Chain A
Amino acid sequence: MSSLPPFQRFLDEHRADVWRFLVAGVGAAEAEDCFQETFLAALRAYPRVRPDSNLRAWVLTIAHRKVLDAHRARGRRPLPVPDIAERQGAQAPGPGPDGAGPGPDGPWPGPDGELWAAVGSLPPKQRAAVLLRCAGDLSHSQVSAALGCSEEAARRSFHEGLKRLREVYVT
């Protein structure tokens, strides 16, 4: 019978991917908090995971939930008045119904910096679908489980996200 790898190995194998997924989701400043919450939640639940599960999909799903939590917390946090005015002035690409965050803090140095920034500018559902599907290598049904929507809706968010990326980012 196969058994779960020691948690340390699981962490070492997936931490870089989770880190970048979180930076894309909440920005570098909040990534550390989300990272800690993600892996602590994973550690709590770890013994109950089936050994044949896709651990990468599992941990990215948890990371995605922490991203949503962070956006919700940010939405509730009182903001100084000028900030609110700024936010209202800057609608596009705009906060979605479940509270979009500002995405990454800016373009990264390196060849993919612009693409990275473009992903960060997507509405939350599309960004999550694109990141989970491409960066996280999840199937549409795994993405739908992570997003809590139908597989059809996950597929749609992914393709809408890709379409939008093609508009703002020319390969």
Chain B
Amino acid sequence: MTDLESKLRGLVRTGPEDASAGAARRTLDRAVSEGLADVCYASLDSPLGPLLAATTRRGVVQLAYEDGQRDALLERLAARLSPRVIESSAPMDDLRRQLEEYFAGERRQFQLELDWELTSSFGRRVLGHTARVPYGQVITYGEVAQRAGSPRGARAAGNALGANPMPIIVPCHRVLRTGGDLGGYGGGLSRKLYLLELEGSLLSC
């Protein structure tokens, strides 16, 4: 390779000032307003650490504890939903506000459109019944399984709850073991405990 060629190769990196960040931002705003984004995501702050929120045209499709897994979570969304995944917080405004109110103790129920695309049909039944457990109350794995039409499926229900793509919004933290044992939680038991304390449910179990 000649000297000139290698200089030319370096040119793209050392050329005019890179103003692409702003241009990219404006491009994505246009993409969202033209409906070209299949999945939008944003990182939301919470007392339990950053949450990765994702929405589709149908509604919230994922809310996940980031825990340093942001890239892997996004790859999974691209593989399972659509590779047209872009960062945009505009579709997240409602969710962000409701989460803030929830963590401030001012909201007892989420009013959001949900997209169940990331759940199996059994998972959806289990999570659907879980979503109906009121704030401040708890239920057992066995009861949820029964309501989902699978009376002996406490373990299967536990697995479905563990795969909950929208924790907090779909309150799988309200599902405990018979006898009041906390059971498990995808985001770690300390978070489950935090949420139950926030809702004032710990004394009742």
Residues of A within 8 A of B (CB): 3-9, 11-12, 15-21, 23-24, 28, 31-32, 35-36, 39-40, 43-44, 46-47, 104, 108, 110-112, 115-116, 119, 130, 134-137, 162, 165-166, 169, 171
B11 in contact with A3 (CB, 8 Å) = no
* Residue of A6, A111, A166 with most partner-chain B CB within 10 A: A6
Taken together as a complex, chains A and B put the C-alpha atoms of A169 and B28 apart, in Å, by 38
**Complex interface: stretch among B17-25, B122-130, B155-163:** B17-25
Residues 13-35 of B contacting A (Cβ, < 8 Å): 13-21, 23-24, 26-28, 30-31, 34
A169 neighbours in B (Cβ, 8 Å): 4
From the candidates A12, A31, A47, name the one contacting B83 in the complex (CB within 8 A).
A47
A134 to B2, CA, bound (A): 11
Chain A neighbourhood of B9, CB < 8 A: 134-135, 137
B86 proximity list for chain A (CB < 8 A): 6-8, 11, 43
Residue of A nearest to B10 (CB): A112
**A2 to chain B: closest residue by CB:** B79
Let me know if B152 is at the binding interface, CB within 8 A: no
Known A-B contacts A15-B23, A36-B23, A119-B8; A4 and B83 likewise in contact (beta carbons under 8 Å) = yes
A104 and B16: CB pair below 8 A? yes
- A7 near B85 with CB under 8 A, answer yes
B7 touches A115 (CB 8 A): yes
The smallest beta-carbon distance between A127 and chain B, in angstroms, is: 11
- Give, as a whole number of angstroms, the nearest-CB distance from A25 to chain B: 12
- B5 lies within 8 A of chain A by Cβ: yes
Give every chain A residue within 8 A of B84 (Cβ-Cβ).
7, 43, 46-47
Q: Known pairs A8-B74, A110-B14. 19 more at Cβ < 8 A?
A: A4-B78, A11-B86, A15-B21, A20-B13, A20-B15, A20-B18, A23-B16, A35-B20, A35-B24, A35-B27, A36-B23, A40-B27, A46-B83, A104-B16, A110-B15, A111-B14, A119-B8, A136-B12, A171-B4
